[in-house]
Chain A
Amino acid sequence: MGKRSVIPFGPQHPVLPEPIHIDLVIEDEKVVEAIPSVGFIHRGLESLVDKRDYNQMTYVVERTCGICSFQHGMGYCEAMEHVFGVDVPARAKYLRTIWAELGRMHSHLLWLGLLADGFGYENLFYQCWRVREKVLDMQEMTSGGRLIFSVNKVGGVIKDIEKEKLDIILKTMDEVEEELTVIKDTFLLDYSVQSRLQGVGIVTKEQAHDLGCAGPFARASGIRTDMRKLGYAAYPDLDFEPIISATGDSYARCYCRIMEIFQSIDLIRQAIGKIPNETDLFTPVKGNPDGEYFMRVEQPRGEAVYYVKASGKQYLDRFRVRTPTFANLPGLCEMLKNTQLSDVGLLVLTIDPCISCTER
């Protein structure tokens, strides 16, 4: 047994866009144990329920995370709609689906870029982000904001997407698909990328299940789980299957996310094809909320749980969001064991960490 030493990783590190700190116990070059410590971005967002009423909370919840901000707002609103017992107009459900899938595309493209940067392929990083800008342009065109666009409200959505804009989205999806095919081949077939990703950081199906992993991280280990199957928003009307891979290594995680972008393109096309013509965009809610609900939403990073509890007041008693990265942290610690120190940066990236979600 070699001598053990502890190496701190983060909070400020070139591969990390966000601060997380991990203490790595290493033996020679091998990681024996990883202990994360969080709190660099902890704001205490959940405590704002005392100061903001349930409508204002929508905007606070959207700012849990800037990458999946729309889906955060959507999850919260769906939970509140269950508490109120209101039905959202069909068009609003489709609009939510379109925005949610655009969000998933830009989040996955962002991650692919960061991964490419993580293993030193700078050109690929720039290519991914170039394609991502097209998706962001679509978000800006339809809502007015690039990342945080506050179009959700309890009961529906605020803005409509007109027919002409839907056509532009379809046209852009064709362009993105074409460019993405080239990027996909580079990620999945390039020899140097393969040798960097294959067989690194394997998490078996049993481990992923026992550690409560979520999202693409779990799907890459062969767990067939996708919260979109629960049938919120317009997903019951759309045809899709969860994308899974069996190997559970970094390459599998990369594969799952790339394929999910194509799936999102397909879902957007289906949704635009089926969107009903309605003028109603939201159902007005009356009175104050009373009751509690656990809402599960499939975010780009996996299953997110929104818990709201209200007791007939304007202010909620408790709001809680369990984000996917929080669920994936135990999996990350397990995965880092017995890996080489030089792989740590890359492996932390492969769970697609979103620290500001995690710490709220």
Chain B
Amino acid sequence: MANVKRSPWLLHYDGSSCNGCDIEVLASLTPVYDAERFGVINTGDPMQADIFLITGGVNTQNAKTVKQLYDQMPRPKVVVAVGVCACTGGVFKDCYNILGGADTVIPVDIYVPGCAARPQAIIDGIVQAVELFEKRSKEHDEKVRSQKKGSEVA
């Protein structure tokens, strides 16, 4: 967690969760648990977001919405699935309208277990996401630099 240079922004979307994880995500951003001390901030705009927190499973209708939100986020990006429904579908796995966890439509990097996920677990997930984001941004910078060099040589 040391030496994180950037301050990534969070986007939260409620898939088809029961609300339990959503309010825990909000609770972990409010001062009692205060995930914002790790440099993240909550945003409502996918185009400015770096970390995508998704709660709840994916159903037939919101699959498109989730995919669109993910595509609108600029690269590099990290996806955190919060709660057991977002990981696998949870108790609703057998329902007719549930496709499964969030990883059925978008690549998920970090899985946070729990029903509902506890704020401590969510914060742990966010911290890991911040580290992963730092690593990915470095790789991304390298790539951009080498591409620039390549074009200068050519």
Contacts and interface: CB of A to CB of B under 8 A. Distances in A.
Interface of A: 11-14, 17-19, 39-45, 47-48, 51, 59-60, 63-67, 69, 110, 125-126, 129-130, 133, 136, 145-148, 354-357
A64 B16 CA distance: 11
B115 A43 contact: no
B23 to A, nearest CB: 6
B30 A12 contact: no
B56 interface: yes
22 contacts: A11-B62, A13-B44, A17-B22, A18-B22, A19-B62, A41-B62, A42-B59, A43-B57, A43-B97, A44-B96, A59-B91, A66-B22, A125-B30, A129-B30, A129-B32, A130-B31, A146-B116, A147-B20, A148-B116, A354-B19, A356-B14, A356-B16
A67 B92 contact: no
B65 A40 contact: yes
Contacts of A133: 27, 32
A260 to B, nearest CB: 19
B61 interface: yes
Given A17-B14, A39-B61, 5 more contacts: A12-B44, A19-B62, A43-B92, A48-B94, A65-B20
Interface in B4-40: 13-24, 26-27, 30-32
B31 A63 contact: no
B95 interface: yes
A12 to B, nearest CB: 6
Majority SS at the chain A contact face: loop
Contacts of B116: 66, 145-148
B94 A19 contact: no
Contact of B23 (A13, A47, A66): A66
A40 B44 contact: no
A40 to B, nearest CB: 5
A133 B97 CA distance: 34
Contacts of A60: 91
Interface string B48-77: 000000001101011001000100000000
A12 B92 CA distance: 22
A59 B21 CA distance: 16
Nearest to B96: A44
B24 A146 contact: yes
B46 interface: yes
Contacts of A357: 19
A123 to B, nearest CB: 10
Contacts of B98: 43-44
Contact of A12 (B23, B24, B46): B46
Most central of B14, B17, B62, B115 by chain A CB within 10 Å: B14
A67 B61 CA distance: 23
Nearest to B72: A12
Nearest to B20: A66
Given A17-B14, A19-B14, A133-B32, A41 B23 contact: no
B31 A45 contact: no
Contacts of B91: 59-60, 63
Interface string B90-106: 11101111100000000
A110 B19 CA distance: 12
Contacts of B24: 146-147
Nearest to A129: B30
A17 B25 CA distance: 10
